[in-house]
Structure 1
């Protein structure tokens, strides 16, 4: 885990070996439930799936569920992690390298490299990669290799959030029609609101709810005043200063590392539209996952479904507006297998140098959500008051913003008293999604070393 450029001892990675940790609870309780729901869904919906793909996939579904049941057994009995041995995806070498490193680290502690001894980030990501592996191996017909087994849950979450979507969509259209070109200061307050809306959209996470419904049903605009006091690290002024100064240089490309589909994706697109409309961004790239991941993470088909729903549910003008952005390539969707590895972002430059180079061409990177935050800060047990810059461990392809509601017990960049005060109010403050972070780093790749 320690990189040559780290000039200080690193904290330990979060791990389920500690029975009083959120990682332990997640791997013991929540992830087996999610896996069981996938198995139950495939069995319950087998006839409907066969109607779409053909009766011959019934044998595929049986084989896939047998593999998933075996995976659940391995997880619940804390078996050693096995290497991947299929080669259809380009990530197998990287995954097996990560597993080998983890085995080496566990061996140094005289432990097997298992679900409850290896780093939490590794085993949690490995679970979803193994689910994908079951579909690749179990689909003898090949028809279900790329089946999105979380699609129905994501679609239901969006449809259950329609009242909030309409409120935010109509608000956005109204505000865009009254923008004052050439007067960025007039957009400052509205920019803050759009960033906050994107932040709180991250509360809609089907993984943290164990796959149970978790839609946005309240008025997102009314929520802002209520939730603002729950932003524990607020760099909005720094972000606006960067945006305003950047606008004097002319429009540029920005990038969103997307998290959840549904209402959060909608709020991200709304923020992206605002950035385009005020002249900050000429192009926006959305990086999404290449296969189903952590229940509600965005894949490309989720974007297509969102636009379809907007067109059918009273926001046709917004749907057409956003479709035109994609058609004219002002907006685009990209993916990379790095996002479905377990590797922390600071390792990107070594593992996926072309992706790091691609990100370095953006003026701003918007990193969404809890898992991306964990990867951004290497999922280490940082002291809460550790500076955000230090915890980034030299990951500076370009200026970056992270918008995250807290759903795991890892954070950096807080003032010394903030965590203590939040714990007094709610001992579970780090894992409920009630509290949020808006953090910013304006640095771009540097060879200088961190020091403490």
Structure 2
């Protein structure tokens, strides 16, 4: 099961620091690195397999993106947070504590850095999940969830990767919630702000491009695709690729068509294109990333309002900082204020327009719910948070943005790529559902027969490259969603 030094190594087996060797003298470090990696696999029962069909994504499977995330990506996230706190400690102490309490704030900062370092160690050594024991408002929800996990699924590499990632980010936030001085601090605030400010040329271009849009399926389809590809602006993307992708989408919207694996824009359009002028139509956006993507969400919502596809768009944000770049209430409001006060007249005008939409009730910030930052897949919402589920039932269409929302819709299960999404939702269908997602993990459903196999032959990394996307629709008007 475990890989040995005698087996041919796959790309997933290669440590990131390895390079082709040119002489015998340089091969020893590589052999040592492979040995250490093999010892890790053996110690934590990692198997050198892809995730089996219909199994939960998990770091237990070495050839999965879940393993890569746990082994490589998440430790970097925690290291970056530690580096930020260390670098900015003087600034943070001055910002959050008066002179009289400066020393106490410095000591607290050291404690938080230590807690994050311990969390990183627990991640890297597959330690079990711990209960929450502080002042977390969702403490009971989390502790109840952890207590009901099977005994063999309560540690980072043995659990579903969805549970492991959510637990890590929730623990990280709890260190601030239980602090004295840093309760209101956001580890990732500057990252999210730069995700907008560094892309203002693209914001201006998108604003100009969409000012005189016709009320047609063709334009709606364009906006859905632009919105889906705006997810290129998450922090894991290469900056130059991000900018190139934005401009390519605007210059030639048809160019990336072959990379849109499912496009059900016409069905989404028919769902919303009701010609009864007095009929109230609410659309809910379950948001993903702050920055340029959030601006793109506003542009799509603006089109829905102005073309009569919706009378109100309600935005759902995260209750606290989450998965680095996810939108919080603070990010939502900061973005609108930043746009409205921008030096460029056109950007300022669009920002003021969006603020006016808020004042008029055309845009609305939904009540904050801790369900979105829980470890629960969405099928559990009717009994875990029935009030939230009931509120979504009043919507004509619920738009789920991005990778994490997609994984929660499909429970982070390795489905057959041709499985119908309505089946994968396990009864979760509060209303009509739209999904806009760049594919960045091996969780996907609803593809046509043969598409997945053809892509695997052409590009073995197609599921994790972010080069492909889906615009999917599930009709919630039919009984039981089937």
Please confirm whether the aligned pair reaches a TM-score higher than 0.5, indicating the same fold.
Answer: yes
Partner of 2:6 in structure 1?
none
| Rounded Cα–Cα distance in structure 1 between residues aligned with 2:424 and 2:194 | 37
Q: Which residue of 143, 166, 178 maps to 1:96?
A: 143
Give CA deviations for 1:70-120 in whole Å, capped at 9, x if unaligned.
Answer: 10110011111111112331x222212221222x2xx3xxx4621100111
**Structure 1 length-normalised TM:** 0.88
Change (3 A) 1:260 1:313: farther
Partner of 1:198 in structure 2?
227
Give CA deviations for 1:108-154 in whole Å, capped at 9, x if unaligned.
Answer: xxx462110011110000000000111123x2x3x311311101111
Question: 1:21, CA displacement in angstroms?
Answer: 0.9
Unpaired runs of at least 5, structure 1? 1-9, 180-185
User: Secondary structure of the equivalent of 1:401?
Assistant: strand
| Rounded Cα–Cα distance in structure 2 between residues aligned with 1:385 and 1:442 | 17
Q: Contact 1:251 / 1:281 at 8 angstroms: preserved in 2?
A: yes
Change (3 A) 1:422 1:409: same
Partner of 2:198 in structure 1?
160
In the alignment, is residue 136 of structure 1 matched against residue 154 of structure 2? Answer: no
Q: Contact 2:195 / 2:234 at 8 angstroms: preserved in 1?
A: no
User: Secondary structure of the equivalent of 1:203?
Assistant: helix
Which stretch shows the higher mean deviation, 144-153 or 365-374?
144-153
| Rounded Cα–Cα distance in structure 2 between residues aligned with 1:395 and 1:148 | 32
In the alignment, is residue 275 of structure 1 matched against residue 304 of structure 2? Answer: yes
Partner of 1:3 in structure 2?
none
Q: Contact 1:396 / 1:446 at 8 angstroms: preserved in 2?
A: no
| Rounded Cα–Cα distance in structure 2 between residues aligned with 1:287 and 1:128 | 19
Which stretch shows the higher mean deviation, 372-381 or 219-228?
219-228
Question: 1:393, CA displacement in angstroms?
Answer: 1.0
Q: Contact 1:205 / 1:214 at 8 angstroms: preserved in 2?
A: no
Unpaired runs of at least 5, structure 2? 1-52
CA RMSD of aligned residues (A): 2.0
Which stretch shows the higher mean deviation, 408-417 or 298-307?
298-307
Partner of 1:44 in structure 2?
87
| Rounded Cα–Cα distance in structure 2 between residues aligned with 1:46 and 1:171 | 43
User: Secondary structure of the equivalent of 1:389?
Assistant: helix
Question: Equivalent residues in 2 for 1:48-447 (5 A)?
Answer: 48-54=91-97, 55=102, 56-89=104-137, 91-102=138-149, 104=150, 107=151, 111=152, 113-137=154-178, 139=179, 141=180, 143-175=181-213, 179=214, 186-206=215-235, 208-209=236-237, 216=243, 218-219=246-247, 220-222=249-251, 224-245=253-274, 250-311=279-340, 312-314=342-344, 315-334=347-366, 335-444=368-477, 446-447=479-480
Partner of 1:13 in structure 2?
56
Question: 1:447, CA displacement in angstroms?
Answer: 5.0
| Rounded Cα–Cα distance in structure 1 between residues aligned with 2:339 and 2:219 | 23
| Rounded Cα–Cα distance in structure 2 between residues aligned with 1:366 and 1:60 | 41
Change (3 A) 1:223 1:134: farther
| Rounded Cα–Cα distance in structure 2 between residues aligned with 1:21 and 1:247 | 49
Change (3 A) 1:213 1:126: farther
How many residue pairs match? The answer is 419
User: Secondary structure of the equivalent of 1:78?
Assistant: coil
| Rounded Cα–Cα distance in structure 2 between residues aligned with 1:447 and 1:423 | 33
Q: Contact 2:220 / 2:265 at 8 angstroms: preserved in 1?
A: no
Question: 1:356, CA displacement in angstroms?
Answer: 0.3
| Rounded Cα–Cα distance in structure 2 between residues aligned with 1:294 and 1:45 | 21
| Rounded Cα–Cα distance in structure 2 between residues aligned with 1:47 and 1:214 | 35
Question: 1:200, CA displacement in angstroms?
Answer: 0.7
